[in-house]
């Protein structure tokens, strides 16, 4: 038996590199997966590739009404919601001098407010589960940049620090309310995705950028989307049954 047989999951930012890897790993472990993304073309393609275990749900994670509709779709199609993975996020590198208010607000909306909305709507559905159902899992995404700061990520780091605090608060609320919901976060280091390349500065070579990244990771390399997906599967499974309010560092020692 697979670790997540019969459980239902909603993954945001599912069409991105990490999101796609998470969807694939959840399906591999027996879950039914709602592939949620604002990019309909990529999302539909992934859902079709995953077969009968997946469906696409169009979701702008900054919009409360779309969150409500997405959760309703998942519960009506799959019969419930056991796992929420708040993967969606963007990166706009900037120092405090380069940053604009518009970019600050956009980063906060996509990275932090989306996690707030996802947690809020998921808890509302998950809190009524009975003792015969598996404990639900909410998994948010922080970042090593919420712990180890750089001048180039003033706003981004702030959004991920906000998600870190939100995760712990929601975890405590659910535990003290007696809800059968665990709430944790994954804290990735540098992961080989298209989003990571947004940090390459004009005039900087790929080799120079990635060599600097590797130096910041004591393990001697950057990570892969599958390694993050493996951590998500662990947190979603019963193997993490005594974990809530944790920020699981999967960062090659970057924050050690």
Catalytic residue status for 209: no
Burial of residue 202 (number of CB atoms within 10 Å: 0-12, 13-18, 19+) = exposed
Separation between Cα atoms, residue 124 and residue 122, nearest integer Å: 5
Q: Which of 24, 156, 185, 189 is catalytic?
A: 156
- Which backbone phi and psi does 32 adopt, to 5 degrees? -90, 130
For residue 166 the two structure tokens come to 């939100």
User: Domain residue spans in the chain?
Assistant: 8-192+225-250
For residue 134 the two structure tokens come to 């598996």
Secondary element (H or E) of residue 93:
none
Q: Which CATH class is domain 8-192+225-250?
A: alpha beta
Separation between Cα atoms, residue 79 and residue 109, nearest integer Å: 29
Per-residue pLDDT tens listing for the chain (256 residues): 689 999 999 999 999 999 999 999 999 999 999 999 999 999 999 999 999 999 999 999 999 999 999 999 999 999 999 999 999 999 999 999 999 999 999 999 999 999 999 999 999 999 999 999 999 999 999 999 999 999 999 999 999 999 999 999 999 999 999 999 999 999 999 998 888 777 777 777 877 887 888 899 999 999 999 999 999 999 999 999 999 999 999 999 999 8
């Amino acid at each position: 038996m697979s670790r997540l047989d019969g459980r239902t999951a909603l993954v945001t930012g599912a069409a991105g590199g990490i999101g796609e890897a998470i969807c694939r790993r959840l399906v591999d472990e027996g879950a039914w997966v709602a592939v949620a993304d604002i990019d309909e073309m990529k999302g539909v393609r992934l859902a079709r590739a995953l077969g009968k275990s997946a469906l696409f749900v169009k979701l702008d994670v900054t919009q409360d009404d779309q969150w409500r509709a997405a959760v309703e779709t998942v519960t009506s199609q799959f019969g419930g919601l056991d796992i929420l993975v708040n993967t969606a996020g963007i990166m706009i590198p900037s120092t405090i001098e380069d940053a604009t208010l518009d970019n600050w607000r956009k980063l906060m909306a996509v990275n932090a407010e989306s996690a707030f909305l996802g947690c809020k709507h998921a808890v509302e559905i998950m809190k009524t589960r009975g003792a015969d159902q598996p404990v639900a899992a909410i998994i948010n995404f922080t970042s090593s940049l919420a712990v180890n700061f750089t001048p180039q990520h003033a706003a981004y780091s702030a959004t991920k620090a906000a998600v870190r605090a939100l995760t712990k608060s929601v975890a405590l609320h659910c535990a003290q309310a007696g809800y059968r919901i665990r709430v944790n976060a994954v804290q990735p280091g540098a992961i080989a995705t298209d989003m990571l390349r947004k940090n390459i500065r004009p005039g900087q070579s790929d080799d120079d950028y990635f060599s600097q990244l590797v130096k910041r990771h004591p393990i001697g390399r950057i990570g892969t989307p599958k390694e993050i997906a493996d951590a998500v599967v662990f947190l979603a499974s019963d193997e993490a049954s005594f974990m809530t309010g944790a920020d699981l560092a999967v960062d090659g020692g970057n924050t050690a």
